[in-house]
Amino acid sequence: MNAIYILWLRELKRYIRSRTQIAASLGQPLLYLLALGFGLGPIFQKSGHGSYLQFIAPGVIAMTVLFTSIFSGVSLLWDRQFGFLKETLVAPVSRITIMIGRTLGGATVAMIQGVLVIVVCLIAGFRPVNLAAVPFAFVFMILIAIVFGALGTAIGSVLQDMQGFQLIMNFLVLPIFFLSGALFPLANLPKALGIVTSIDPLSYGVDGLRGSLIGLSHFGPAIDVAVLCILAAIFFGIGSFLFSRIQL
């Protein structure tokens, strides 16, 4: 228990101390929000879907949580490189404990980033439709953070070097984001794209967030929660397994 806490605290301290990183990581969501939100806004409005800023704000929040949590998982690679991983792996605590501490730490950091982006969205003019449903948005953020934090750990356990990291970024993280419906409605898509989006785990996170924040849901909140919970369990299982097999 203490071990989980101290590893959680470590992730948090590392996050708080990297101020330039915090600032940099807020830049990207801001860009999406402003460039797309206001740039595509008029066309979106004309097609009869209402405000695009309102529409993509939940998507941008989901994106932030996705990126932060997956990177915190993959940061295993840095720990491996700078040697700290050895210190934890040779300690008399089980690998699963280490994995839980890391994942919870990463999830907490992702939540903080997500909340910061919510604030940015509010400043940009985003307004949640139903304040009573906002707490559910946090539930979805936590679920996204755990699903992708665990996925990140799984990947970080297998990867050996930085080249692999770039590969993951381009061929996994970006597709997950772009194919999730964060930027476009899931209704009336071409069939192939519709199938792909329904396989993308983030689709359910974005959908859940959109449901809680602007009352618009494609799959329905019950399915969103169910899918995310199941995936969280599966990815956590895979992540733990791969993490437990790391050899130095």
Partner 1 sequence: MIRAQDLVKTFGEFTAVDSISFHVERGEIFAFLGPNGAGKTTTIKMLTTLLKPTSGRVELDGLNPAVQQNEARQRFGIVFQDPSLDSELTAYENMDLHGVLYHVPRKVRIERIERLLKLFELWERRKDRIKQFSGGMKRRLEIARGLLHTPKILFLDEPTLGLDPQSRNQLWTHVKNLNESEQVTVFLTTHYMDEADRVADRIAVIDHGRIVAQGSPAELKRQTESDSLEQAFLALTGSSIRDESAGSADQLRQFTKMWKR
Region from 29-37, 58-66, 90-98, 136-144 binding partner 1, contact rule CB under 8 A: 90-98
91 contributes a contact to partner 1 by CB under 8 A: yes
Residues 67-86: x/- map of binding to partner 1 (CB under 8 A)? -------------xxxxxxx
In the bound state with partner 1, the residue whose beta carbon lies nearer, of 6 and 122, is: 6
- Of residues 6 through 35, those in contact with partner 1 by CB under 8 A are 6-7, 10, 13-14, 17-18
Question: Which residue lies nearer to partner 1 by CB, 112 or 189?
Answer: 112
- Dist. CA 201–CA 55, nearest whole Å: 19
Nearer to partner 1, 2 or 188 (CB): 2
* 92 lies in the site for partner 1, by CB under 8 A: yes
Count of beta carbons in the 10 Å neighbourhood of residue 5:
12
User: For partner 1, which is the closer residue by CB, 94 or 130?
Assistant: 94
Binding mask 120-159 for partner 1 (x = CB under 8 A): ----------------------------------------
Q: How far is the CB of 216 from partner 1 (least distance, A)?
A: 41
Q: Does 95 bind partner 1 (CB under 8 A)?
A: no
For the chain, the distance separating the N- and C-terminal CA atoms, rounded to the nearest angstrom, is: 25
The number of beta carbons lying within 10 Å of the beta carbon of residue 19 is: 9
CA distance readout (Å), 23 to 10, 26, 70: 20, 5, 18
Residue 146 near residue 103, CB atoms below 8 Å: yes
Measured between alpha carbons, how far is 221 from 211 in angstroms, rounded to an integer?
Answer: 7
Residue 49 touching partner 1 (CB under 8 A)? no
What is the DSSP code string of 35-90?
IIHHHTHHHHHHTT---HHHHHHHHHHHHHHHHHHHHHHHTHHHHHHTSHHHHHHT
Q: Which stretch binds partner 1 (CB under 8 A): 5-13, 139-147, 170-178, 203-211?
A: 5-13
Distances (CA, A) of 132 to 51, 111, 120, 136, 202: 21, 19, 20, 9, 24
- Residue placing its CB nearer to partner 1 in the complex, 199 or 248: 248
Q: Is 247 in the site for partner 1 (CB under 8 A)?
A: yes
Judge whether 4 and 100 are in contact, CB under 8 Å.
yes
Coil, helix or strand for 144?
Answer: helix
Which one of 23, 131, 160, 188 is in contact with partner 1 (CB under 8 A)?
A: 160
Nearer to partner 1, 14 or 49 (CB): 14
Phi and psi dihedrals of 237, rounded to 5? Answer: -60, -50
DSSP 8-state code for residue 189? -
Sites of contact with partner 1 (CB under 8 A): 2-3, 5-7, 10, 13-14, 17-18, 80-94, 160-163, 247-248
